[in-house]
Amino acid sequence: MSSSTPQSPTPTPQSHATRPSRVVFNRRVGPGWYTLRLEEATIAQVSRAGQFVQVKTADRSSFDPLLRRPFSVYDVDRERGTYDLLYTAVGRGTRWLADIPDSPGTMVEVEGPFGNTFTAPTDRDSIYLVGGGVGVAPLYLFARELLASRSALPRITLCMGARTREQLQGIDEFRRLSLRCEVATDDGSEGFHGRVTQLFATLAERDREPLRVYGCGPQGMNESLRAIAVERSYPTEICVESLMACGFGVCFGCVLPIRKKPGGDFYNRRTCYEGPVFDARLLHPGIE
C-alpha cells in the first residue's frame, strides 16, 4: 500500500458534558427514516465527519431506556448553530425520537461529539464514498467538508446501496452536491442491480487515478468493503457502528478485535474512542 495510506486517525478530545439541544424540525424523509435538526452551538461548531453524538431517548425525568443512543452527525450549519441527524426508527430509542413533534421547541439531551474523524485525502486522489442505510450520514458531512475546503473541485464518487429505490436514504441531498452519484439496489429498482460493494469494485477497477475510499454501512457492507480494500490495497477507512454504551471510552462496552498497525495482533479496542473510523487493514474479518 502506498505511503499516503491513511492511518487510523487519532482520537479527538472528548467532552461528555450534556448539551441540551433544541429541535428545529423532525422531518419524515422516507419510509421509516427521519432527519432531526437540532440547535446547539458547540456541537454545530466542533463536530467533524465521522463523529457521533449520544442522544438521550427518554423524557427529561426518565432513565428508561438508560443508555443513550449514538448517531453520526449528518450535517452542520456552523453559522446558525444547528446540526442534523439522519435516523431510522428501529427500536425503542429511535421510535421515541420519531415521536418528537415536527415543530420547533422540544429539548433533547445530547452528549458529544465523540470519536475520531475521517482522514483528509490528497488533492490527487479519486475519492469514493461507499455507503448504505443510515451509514450514509457521516459520508454526507464528509462530502460537504471536502467540497467546502478545496479550492479545486475534488473528484468524488458516491456509491450508495439499498434494498429498493425507496430506501436510498439521503440520495436527493447527495445529488444536490457536486459529485458523481452511483446507486445500487438489491431488487434492481434503481441503478446497478446488486450489492453496492460490487458496484464500487467495478467502478474502482476502471479508475486510473490513485484511490481513497471511505465507507459506512451495515455490517455486511462494511465487511465486503474491508475485504475488497485489503485484497486490492485500496487506502480505505471504514466507520463502524457497533453497539455502544457510554460512548466516551470508560465502559469498554463497544470493543472489537482491532489491530494497532497493519499486520499486527488484534486487541480489544474501543470503537467509540479509538474509532469509530478505522483503517480497513486494522479491522478483523467479520468486523462487528
Ligand X SMILES: Cc1cc2nc3c(=O)[nH]c(=O)nc-3n(C[C@H](O)[C@H](O)[C@H](O)COP(=O)(O)OP(=O)(O)OC[C@H]3O[C@@H](n4cnc5c(N)ncnc54)[C@H](O)[C@@H]3O)c2cc1C
Rule CB under 6 A: say whether 52 interacts with ligand X.
yes
| Residue 69 interacts with which of ligand X, ligand FES, none, CB < 5 to 8 Å by class | ligand X
Cα 172 from chain centre: 17
Closer of 143 and 272 to ligand FES (Cβ):
272
Which residue type occupies 14?
Answer: Q
End-to-end CA distance of the chain: 24
Residue nearest to ligand X according to CB distances in the complex: 91
x/- letters, 126..145, toward ligand X (CB under 6 A): --------x--x--------
| Burial state string for 24-34 with b = 16 or more CB within 10 A and e = fewer than 16 | bbbeeebebbb
Rule CB under 6 A: say whether 270 interacts with ligand FES.
yes
Strand-pairing partners, residue 86, are 35
Q: Is the peptide bond before 276 cis (omega within 30 degrees of 0)?
A: yes
Rule CB under 6 A: say whether 162 interacts with ligand X.
no
Cα–Cα distance measured from residue 224 to residue 266, given in angstroms and rounded to the nearest whole number? 19
Closer of 190 and 288 to ligand FES (Cβ):
288
Which residue type occupies 104?
Answer: P
Rule CB under 6 A: say whether 277 interacts with ligand FES.
no
Q: Is the peptide bond before 257 cis (omega within 30 degrees of 0)?
A: no
Answer yes or no: are the C-beta atoms of 214 and 129 closer than 8 Å.
yes
- The interface with ligand X within residues 218-257 (CB under 6 A) comprises 241-242, 244
Which of 4, 278, 279 has its CA nearest to residue 125? 4
| Residue 72 interacts with which of ligand FES, ligand X, none, CB < 5 to 8 Å by class | ligand X
Rule CB under 6 A: say whether 244 interacts with ligand FES.
yes
CB of 60 to ligand X, least distance (A): 18
Cα 11 from chain centre: 16
Helices (H), 70-215: 92-98, 136-149, 171-175, 196-206
Of 6, 93, 170, 217, the residue at the interface with ligand X (CB under 6 A) is 93
Rule CB under 6 A: say whether 249 interacts with ligand FES.
yes
CB of 80 to ligand X, least distance (A): 20
Rule CB under 6 A: say whether 86 interacts with ligand X.
yes
Binding region for ligand FES (CB under 6 A): 244-247, 249-254, 270, 272-273
Binding region for ligand X (CB under 6 A): 52, 69-72, 85-88, 90-94, 134, 137, 241-242, 244, 276
